[in-house]
């Protein structure tokens, strides 16, 4: 399918100048306005800042704005029991610098850029490097309980996790942040779906038109923060922008991440970036028994990835996203991560085993390689040869002559018992494409002009990462940029109304 191309058109002026019908023609099939002919709302309420979304980005933005003195409303399209989006399902790791020194910030920045093949947004990566540690300390001040920093294997970066630990801590952490917001007077409107941004005569965003059980309501504001997450749950967008077959992939993230915020922002004139191809999605090989939490991400680098032919297929030291994308190309899209008794003792592997046991997912184990092969459904002779060849190539924790080579964390698989995380299949976690923003989290048009009154952050904002990211980097983005969006939005002032506002 031919992908949309974006020029330097000022989309807001184009839509206003030519009328709604002509504007919609320029947006194409994928960007048809949702309920473009909404009638005027009979109800309205005024706030300083309106935030759309209740994930970590949305709560960071809302609390930051509230702390700056703003009257804040948060709009959430699902019920209170379903809040949190992808954040609620996340492992809970937040990547931070190892300390507050400039050297640590530089290392963080360099590792982030390298992980994205040098194609990530350098300016935004530098913002994360400079503010990640301070943002985590701020998060603690909001009541969040986090672990002490721990090293992220293979990188000069550390991470903290919402207590009590991976996957278990996020729901509780988000609940704490929501409680903090409402206790101080902030309002959260559940089952209230944002439909359109409201534009003033000057072209500034001055509110959100939303629908709830009683109908339409306008939430007027000096500024709006879009924190709606990505589009992993939108099969049409995946098929159109990522890959013709991407709509058939297993979804790990929230089904409610359907690109709502991206569409609203684009209708208001914002540009989308990094929407094309597999480099625009995060993929992990996970257990079908629990696609959200059944991800042995801390173990991948230490293990051997084995396909249905009993052969290795990836440099495992590249991490779980590289493994997930490589798994897509394997027979039956089903793989195993194999290790032995000694590798089992590695902290990352031990943590993943504990994680699986807590989820009730069995770890395959056997006394011999041949027995393990039978249990994971691969040819015994092939697996035995693959492991023997790999063992012979291991030297100084590297295996440069192995097929494929392994750059780090290479350990011989030779000490019984033998184990496997199996079966694992690829699934989309989240998306990297989205609204173009600057370091102040302002939504930008194609020519780089900021749209007054409109901010975006987190997964709905695109371009920060490309192809892959370091573990904990996604929530670091949500926290840092969400906080900035809230701080900036709190300083915005709606333009003086000179006539009827227009809905885009």
Output the DSSP codes for 214-257: TEEEEEE-SEEEE----STT-HHHIIIII-TTGGGSEE-S-TT-
Judgement on whether residues 244 and 288 belong to the same structural domain of the protein: no
End position of a domain, from candidates 401, 428, 455: 428
End position of a domain, from candidates 428, 456, 482: 428
Judgement on whether residues 372 and 441 belong to the same structural domain of the protein: no
Q: What is the pLDDT of residue 493?
A: 79
The whole domain housing 137 covers 44-205+217-276+433-496
Closest CA relative to residue 298, chosen from 363, 347, 255, 260 = 347
CA distance 90 to 94: 10
Which pair of structure tokens corresponds to residue 426? 């690829």
* Burial of 279 per CB tally in 10 Å (0-12, 13-18, 19+): middle
Q: Cis omega before residue 82 (within 30°)?
A: no
Beta strands in 358-406 (DSSP E): 364-366
Q: Torsion angle of alpha carbons 460, 465, 470, 471, nearest 10°?
A: 10
- Whether the predicted pLDDT of 373 surpasses 80: yes
CA distance 148 to 129: 18
Q: What is the pLDDT of residue 350?
A: 97
CA distance 280 to 210: 29
Phi, psi of 154 (to 5 degrees): 90, 0
More confident residue, 3 or 247: 247
- Mean pLDDT over each residue of the chain, to the nearest integer: 90
Q: What is the pLDDT of residue 497?
A: 53
Closest CA relative to residue 108, chosen from 122, 93, 129, 127 = 129
More confident residue, 33 or 327: 327
- Whether the predicted pLDDT of 7 surpasses 80: no
CA distance 113 to 325: 19
Q: What is the pLDDT of residue 37?
A: 65
Task: Answer for the pair 32, 24: CB distance below 8 angstroms, yes or no.
Answer: yes
Quick: pLDDT tens for 49-84. Answer: 999 999 999 999 999 999 999 999 999 999 999 999
CA distance 307 to 377: 10
End position of a domain, from candidates 386, 410, 428: 428
Question: Is 16 within a domain?
Answer: no
CA distance 349 to 420: 11
Q: What is the CATH number of the domain that holds 411?
A: 3.90.700.10
Number of separate domains in the chain: 2
Question: Is 38 within a domain?
Answer: no
Instruction: Mean pLDDT check: name the lowest of 62-66, 152-156, 158-162, 355-359.
Output: 152-156
In DSSP terms, 272 is beta-bridged to 435
- Whether the predicted pLDDT of 168 surpasses 80: yes
- Whether the predicted pLDDT of 215 surpasses 90: yes
Residue with tokens 């994205």: 116
Per-residue pLDDT band at 494 (split at 50, 70, 90): low
Q: What is the pLDDT of residue 245?
A: 76
Q: What is the pLDDT of residue 504?
A: 53
In DSSP terms, 194 is beta-bridged to 210
Report percent pLDDT > 90 for the chain.
80
Per-residue pLDDT band at 28 (split at 50, 70, 90): very low
Q: What is the pLDDT of residue 96?
A: 98
pTM: 0.82
Q: What is the pLDDT of residue 167?
A: 83
**Number of neighbours of residue 493 by Cβ within 10 angstroms:** 11
Quick: pLDDT tens for 339-372. Answer: 999 999 999 999 999 999 999 999 999 999 999 9
Judgement on whether residues 299 and 319 belong to the same structural domain of the protein: yes
Residue with tokens 């807001």: 12
Name the strands in the sheet holding 187-189, side by side, starting at the edge strand that comes first in the sequence: 187-189, 72-75, 49-52, 223-226, 450-456, 442-444
Residue 120 gets which letter from DSSP? S
Instruction: Mean pLDDT check: name the lowest of 165-169, 324-328, 440-444, 488-492.
Output: 165-169
Query: Helix/strand/coil (H, E, C) string of 282-321?
Result: EEEEECCCCCCCCCCCCCHHHCEEECCCCCECCCHHHCHH
Per-residue pLDDT band at 193 (split at 50, 70, 90): very high
Judgement on whether residues 439 and 457 belong to the same structural domain of the protein: yes
Judgement on whether residues 287 and 422 belong to the same structural domain of the protein: yes
Q: What is the pLDDT of residue 17?
A: 36
Question: Is 480 within a domain?
Answer: yes
Highest mean pLDDT among 11-20, 29-38, 442-451: 442-451
In this structure, the chain runs to a length of 504
Q: What is the CATH number of the domain that holds 151?
A: 3.50.50.60
Question: Is 317 within a domain?
Answer: yes
CA distance 285 to 327: 7
Question: Is 344 within a domain?
Answer: yes
* Burial of 273 per CB tally in 10 Å (0-12, 13-18, 19+): buried
Which pair of structure tokens corresponds to residue 323? 């493994």
Judgement on whether residues 308 and 226 belong to the same structural domain of the protein: no
Question: Is 502 within a domain?
Answer: no
- Whether the predicted pLDDT of 22 surpasses 70: no
Closest CA relative to residue 163, chosen from 147, 140, 184 = 147
Question: Is 32 within a domain?
Answer: no
Of all helices (H) and strands (E), which one includes residue 89?
Answer: helix 85-89
Judgement on whether residues 341 and 267 belong to the same structural domain of the protein: no
Question: Is 18 within a domain?
Answer: no
* 233-271: b (≥16 Cβ within 10 Å) or e: bbeebbbbbbbeebbebebbbbebbbbbbbbbbbbbbbb
More confident residue, 36 or 12: 36
């Amino acid at each position: 399918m031919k992908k949309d191309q974006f020029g330097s058109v000022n989309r807001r002026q184009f839509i206003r100048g030519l009328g709604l019908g002509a504007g919609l023609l320029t947006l194409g099939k994928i960007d048809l306005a949702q309920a473009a002919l909404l009638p005027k709302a009979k109800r309205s309420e005024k706030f300083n800042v309106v935030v759309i979304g209740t994930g970590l980005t949305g709560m960071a933005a809302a609390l930051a704005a509230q702390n700056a003195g703003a009257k804040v409303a948060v709009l959430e399209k699902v019920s209170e029991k379903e809040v949190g989006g992808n954040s609620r399902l996340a492992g809970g790791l937040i990547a931070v610098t190892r300390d507050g020194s400039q050297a640590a910030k530089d290392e963080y920045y360099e590792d982030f850029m390298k992980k994205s093949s040098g194609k990530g947004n350098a300016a935004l990566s530098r913002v994360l490097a400079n503010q990640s540690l301070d943002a985590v300390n701020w998060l603690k001040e909001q009541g969040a309980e986090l672990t002490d920093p721990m090293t992220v294997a293979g990188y000069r970066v550390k991470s903290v996790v919402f207590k009590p630990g991976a996957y278990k801590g996020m729901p509780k952490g988000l609940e704490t942040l929501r409680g903090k917001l409402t206790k101080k007077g902030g309002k959260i409107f559940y089952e209230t779906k944002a439909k359109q941004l409201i534009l003033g005569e000057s072209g500034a965003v001055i509110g959100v038109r939303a629908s709830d059980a009683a109908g339409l309501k306008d939430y007027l504001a000096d500024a709006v923060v879009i924190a709606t997450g990505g589009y992993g749950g939108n099969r049409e967008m995946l098929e159109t922008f990522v890959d013709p077959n991407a709509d058939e992939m297993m979804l790990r993230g929230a089904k409610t991440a359907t690109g709502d915020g991206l569409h609203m922002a684009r209708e208001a004139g914002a540009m989308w970036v990094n929407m094309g191809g597999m480099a625009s999605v995060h993929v992990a090989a996970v257990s079908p028994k629990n696609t959200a939490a059944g991800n042995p991400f801390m173990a991948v680098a230490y293990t051997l990835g084995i396909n249905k032919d009993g052969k290795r297929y990836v440099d495992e030291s590249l991490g779980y996203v590289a493994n997930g994308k490589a798994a897509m190309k394997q027979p039956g899209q089903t793989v195993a991560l194999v290790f032995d008794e000694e590798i089992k003792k590695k902290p990352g592997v031990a943590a993943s085993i504990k994680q699986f046991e807590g989820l009730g997912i069995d770890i395959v184990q056997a006394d011999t390689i041949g027995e393990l092969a039978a249990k994971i459904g691969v040819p015994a002779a092939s697996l035995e040869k693959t492991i023997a060849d790999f063992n012979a190539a291991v030297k100084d924790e590297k295996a440069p002559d192995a097929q494929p080579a392994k750059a780090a964390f290479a350990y011989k698989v030779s000490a019984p018992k033998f184990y496997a995380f199996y079966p694992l299949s690829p699934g989309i976690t989240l998306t990297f494409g989205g609204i173009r923003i600057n370091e102040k989290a302002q939504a930008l048009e194609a020519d780089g002009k900021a749209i007054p009154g409109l901010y975006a952050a987190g997964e709905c904002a695109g371009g920060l990462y490309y192809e892959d990211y370091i573990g904990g980097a996604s929530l670091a983005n949500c926290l840092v940029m969400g906080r900035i969006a809230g701080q900036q939005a709190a300083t915005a002032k709606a333009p003086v109304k000179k006539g009827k506002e227009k809905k885009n």
